[in-house]
Amino acid sequence: MRPGSLKDPEIAELFNKHDPEKIFEDLREIGHGSFGAVYYAKCNLTPEIVAIKKMSYMGKQSMEKWQDILKEIRFLRQLNHPNTIEYKGCYLHENTAWLVMEYCVGSASDIIEVHKRPLKE
Domain parsing of the chain, residue ranges: 9-115
> Is there a contact between 79 and 88 (Cβ–Cβ < 8 Å)?
no
For residues 56, 58, 60, 61, the Cα torsion angle rounded to the nearest 10 degrees is 80
Which residues are annotated binding-site positions? 54
Q: In the prediction, which pLDDT does 110 show?
A: 65
Q: In the prediction, which pLDDT does 104 show?
A: 87
Q: In the prediction, which pLDDT does 11 show?
A: 87
At CA 26, angle to CA 24 and CA 30, rounded to 5?
100
Handedness of CA 33, 39, 40, 46 (dihedral sign): negative
Q: In the prediction, which pLDDT does 45 show?
A: 93
Calculate the CA 88 to chain-centre distance.
9
Which residues are annotated binding-site positions for ATP? 54
Instruction: State which residues of the chain have pLDDT below 50.
Output: none
Q: In the prediction, which pLDDT does 119 show?
A: 63
Q: In the prediction, which pLDDT does 6 show?
A: 81
9-115: CATH class: alpha beta
Q: In the prediction, which pLDDT does 93 show?
A: 93
Q: In the prediction, which pLDDT does 61 show?
A: 83
